Amino acid sequence: MVNRMIQPKKNIDKSRKLRHVCYDIRGPVLEKANTLIAAGHDILKLNIGNPAPFGLYAETRLKQALIDQLDAAQGYGESKGLFAARQAIHAHNMNHGFKNTSVDDIIIGNGVSELIVMAMQALLDDGDEMLIPMPDYPLWTAATHLAGGLARHYLCDEHNDWRPNLADIESKISKKTKGILVINPNNPTGSVYDKDTLVAITELARKHNLIIFADEIYDKILYDGATHLSIASLQDDLTVITFNGLSKSYRLAGFRAGWLTISGDKARATDYIVGLNMLASMRLCANMQAQFVIAEALNHDHSIYQLTAPGNRLHEQRNVAYERLNQIPGITCTKPRGAIYLFAQLDTQRFNIQNDEQLMLDLVTQQKLLLVQGTAFNWHLPDHFRLVFLPSVPVLHDAMDRLTDFLKDYRQ
Ligand SMILES: Cc1ncc(COP(=O)(O)O)c(C=O)c1O
């Protein structure tokens, strides 16, 4: 007979795999902002790099490419991605000097985010280590920990234009280190690395047998004549996995299209590549509609340069945000040469800051301005925050007025 006794209810807990996973960009401060919104307040959100809500829309021809191909996008496609899209990505890679790579070495994903998680899941055994910049784009740290690995954060040096500190990198290499991540142009610092820095990283990778992960999603968002160099173009004897996508340069974050490219020494990574392909197959394919947009985006000139050139929108916004931040007593920041963020330093003594999350909670509560604390980017001290400079100049002035007001008498 079936036992119909009602069992006492047990809590449903998250898995132990998530124990060391932290993603504070969307953590308690955002929850507080959402509570305030639900209570009827308007919140000025300078917390995530999402171009569309600030009126930074994609070109019409890109949206048209999706509309034109909707019929063709109904079925599953190849796990690695649409061939025509991968051909366009390959041509783009060749133009940027990638070494020893083919159409077959590209995997398209639902945004770079999905591919970061796949790349770490396929690579790491429990206890394996990844060198990750500090500050970082925190999904990399979260994905490393989700995969059972350990993120070893290497210092990027604010006094040296936020370049990676090579001695610190080397001091954090152990027998368990599998790879090194380079985010260039960098989120959150806006740093764009020079050739010498990138070459030095390849030398470390060669010496210590590391696979290089290059997150280059901001490669076209550059200011003041900065040039971007793909680390995959520098040598052919190291394995490099490069990530890029449509979210930022093409302002299509909601389409969820990104790709990774394997280049350089692929022979020693044969088994890893099998793992990557296995994970790509397990999710059948990335969303098909957005894949039809990729060739249209990459094969033609696009308008991002018209936003980043002097006198144009992103350039002017970057200048206003940078200048206004540095005018606030107790704040200093480095001028970003790429991407869409400023990572500003706070005088912790002046404001007596012990806890930067509390600072951001106070800011959103008092001024209805949402920023992200530096420790959410795995920064080691409570003395930084990140600001997104996507809003128009008048909105940025409003944000700076609020921040100035807030900090005038702030003591924690
Ligand atoms: C450095 C970096 N990598 C990856 C991503 C995720 O991009 P996607 O929208 O393609 O998932 C972001 C998003 O902000 C980012 O800043």
Going from the Cα of 216 to the center of ligand 1, the distance in angstroms, rounded, reads 9
Written as six digits, the tokens of 194 are 């020079």
Instruction: Give residues (CB < 6 A) around ligand 1.
Output: 49, 111-113, 137, 183, 187, 215, 217, 245, 247, 253, 258
Chain position carrying tokens 């909601």: 254
| C-beta separation of 178 from 211 below 8 A | yes
Chain position carrying tokens 């590549």: 273
Residue 288's contacts (CB-CB under 8 Å, 6 or more residues apart) are 72, 73, 74, 75, 76, 77, 82
pLDDT tens-digit readout, 129-181: 999 999 999 999 999 999 999 999 999 999 999 999 999 999 999 999 999 99
Report how far residue 28's alpha carbon sits from residue 377's, in angstroms, rounded to the nearest whole number. Answer: 14
Phi, then psi, of 235 in degrees rounded to 5? -160, 165
- H/E stretch holding 362: helix 356-367
| C-beta separation of 134 from 379 below 8 A | yes
Mutational pocket test of ligand 1: of 46, 107, 139, the residue with most ligand atoms within 8 Å of the beta carbon: 139
- H/E stretch holding 388: strand 384-388
Written as six digits, the tokens of 389 are 């400079």
Going from the Cα of 151 to the center of ligand 1, the distance in angstroms, rounded, reads 18
- Which one is the CATH code of 60-299: 3.30.70.20, 3.40.50.720, 1.20.1270.10, 3.40.640.10? 3.40.640.10
Going from the Cα of 251 to the center of ligand 1, the distance in angstroms, rounded, reads 12
- Reported as half-sphere exposure (CB side, CA atoms, 13 A), residue 183 has a value of 27
- Which one is the CATH code of 16-57+306-408: 3.40.1390.10, 3.90.1150.10, 3.90.110.10, 3.40.50.150? 3.90.1150.10
Going from the Cα of 12 to the center of ligand 1, the distance in angstroms, rounded, reads 31
Give DSSP secondary structure letters for 198-236: HHHHHHHHHHHTPEEEEE-TTTT-B-TT-----GGGS-S
Mutational pocket test of ligand 1: of 112, 250, 341, the residue with most ligand atoms within 8 Å of the beta carbon: 112
DSSP letter, residue 57: P
| C-beta separation of 160 from 183 below 8 A | no
60-299 shares the fold of 16-57+306-408: no
Report how far residue 95's alpha carbon sits from residue 251's, in angstroms, rounded to the nearest whole number. Answer: 22
Written as six digits, the tokens of 32 are 């507080």
Burial of residue 227 (number of CB atoms within 10 Å: 0-12, 13-18, 19+) = exposed
Q: Which residues of the chain have pLDDT under 70?
A: 1-3, 25, 301-302
Nearest CA to ligand 1 atom 13: 49
- H/E stretch holding 244: strand 239-245
Report how far residue 122's alpha carbon sits from residue 149's, in angstroms, rounded to the nearest whole number. Answer: 11
Report how far residue 264's alpha carbon sits from residue 32's, in angstroms, rounded to the nearest whole number. Answer: 46
Report how far residue 248's alpha carbon sits from residue 50's, in angstroms, rounded to the nearest whole number. Answer: 8
Bridge-based pairing of strands 341-346 and 331-333 is: antiparallel
Residue 93's contacts (CB-CB under 8 Å, 6 or more residues apart) are 101, 106, 230, 232, 242, 261, 263
DSSP letter, residue 113: H
Phi, then psi, of 367 in degrees rounded to 5? -115, -5
Kindly list the domain boundaries of the chain, sorted by start residue: 16-57+306-408, 60-299
Return the closest-CA partner of residue 58 out of 304, 305, 306. Answer: 304
